[in-house]
Structure 1
């Protein structure tokens, strides 16, 4: 049986003897981009930043997932579970929140604490009309986007805004994102996470400063999902003022303070 190629994992070393943290990025990104502002947290502990398969410097999925997808949250969850070792704090953003929930449910003994940042856990709140509409809108949007190229997808996402480097990684991230297994369709069992003994935190933005076009739709959608997830898993819910879907990048100081406080109390 062939072993899966190993992930690329960036390690920001912290003091010895502290409990490490694993930070899982979302889609259309890579670890050191998604969490570039969290490096100061390594003053307290070692941080492990894996590039999910198909992103950054990690290998392609190359099969093994569902159908012919370029990224698969179920495979990612296995990868992350292995990275947790004998115990680690686990943080997941967006698509990475889906991955983190699956890993935490499967291996509660390896999780010291769980933090979900704007998790795309749509199915937990699919009975809400705003979420049900978003799921159908997502199907239509992605079907149309896949008719274009990764470069066109980048243009659509970034417009005239600065684009992260390296450009080759961004192009690869766009390709993977276009053809990944949609995290917003993942069936997530919340009971195992709720019943696990580790503390849980859900972080969302208040979306007050989001650009036109995101209000009220995207703001209402994500706050509905985050509220439902927090309720279902028994987590503390925190809204970060001035942040939208990427609190760790948009308000890094406030975000880092939240994690430092949460981890220190564990």
Structure 2
């Protein structure tokens, strides 16, 4: 039985498990998807280390994946944004028979983009940033991280407690090492969707590489934020079409 706290929106229709990224949480990351609760049962867990789920000293994507796989029940659609996308893909590889469809939004699966110029540049920049930065200065660490990603986001000062917690978790990640098992996923038959917003060239390279190997639908919402799901209806329309195409019966 999972220890993770979850947001639960909707009580009918197919189950959709939504996995948040590093600098967010379940409620904040998927606020724009709550409107879909009229036709789906949405389960949005707080990953370990994000209150009110249990604390952790270090983010472990494999442990996260195992905990997310538990939430799939007898079957579910799986959606992950940013590092949540990496976790979702690893979870899908653990329990492919329980996955009805997979959607990932700018996952930092940097090793899977190896050999593509922008992905290589970003992976090197991230590793270099972790080596030189002061992880104890959370505000500066987060600001530099966002700059490395070419994400223009002003952080509040002082940091709210949930954001400070999220940044502390981020300092324990190693995004340049967080690959996903594409060969295993490529052998699965469920539909796959890879979404980006166009703001970070390295993530575009990674998404292109993933879509190619996974034979996934590839969608670019140009000019969108890193967390593309936050644009709301345009993303939701694409997501619902993707979920419906899986043609899952819950009867």
Q: Same fold (TM over 0.5)?
A: yes
**Do 1:145 and 1:178's aligned partners in 2 also have CA atoms closer than 8 Å?**
no
1:100-133 CA-partner distances (Å, limit 9, x unpaired): 1111112110101000111111111111232222
Q: RMSD across aligned C-alpha pairs, in angstroms?
A: 2.3
**Do 2:81 and 2:106's aligned partners in 1 also have CA atoms closer than 8 Å?**
yes
Which residue is equivalent to 1:122? 110
1:45 to 29, 36, 40: 40
1:263 to 243, 246, 249: 243
1:141-190 CA-partner distances (Å, limit 9, x unpaired): 1223334422433555599836499911111111111123x233123221
1:137 offset after TM fit, Å?
1.2
1:23-49 CA-partner distances (Å, limit 9, x unpaired): 001112111111111100111111001
- Listed as ranges, the matches of 1:145-160 within 5 Å are 145-154=133-142, 156=144, 157=146
Q: For 1:31 and 1:21, how far apart are their aligned partners in 2?
A: 13
Q: For 2:100 and 2:15, how far apart are their aligned partners in 1?
A: 9
**Do 1:98 and 1:183's aligned partners in 2 also have CA atoms closer than 8 Å?**
no
1:26 to 21, 28, 42: 21
Give the count of matched residue pairs: 241
1:79-111 CA-partner distances (Å, limit 9, x unpaired): 000011110000011101111111111211010
2:78 to 61, 76, 90: 90
Which residue is equivalent to 1:215? none
**Do 1:164 and 1:170's aligned partners in 2 also have CA atoms closer than 8 Å?**
no
- Listed as ranges, the matches of 1:1-266 within 5 Å are 6-15=3-12, 18-62=13-57, 70-154=58-142, 156=144, 157=146, 161=154, 163=156, 167-180=160-173, 182-207=174-199, 218=200, 220-249=201-230, 251-266=231-246
CA distance 1:165–1:106, change in 2 (3 Å): farther
Structure 1: give runs of 5+ residues left out of the alignment.
Answer: 63-69, 208-217
Structure 2: give runs of 5+ residues left out of the alignment.
Answer: 247-251
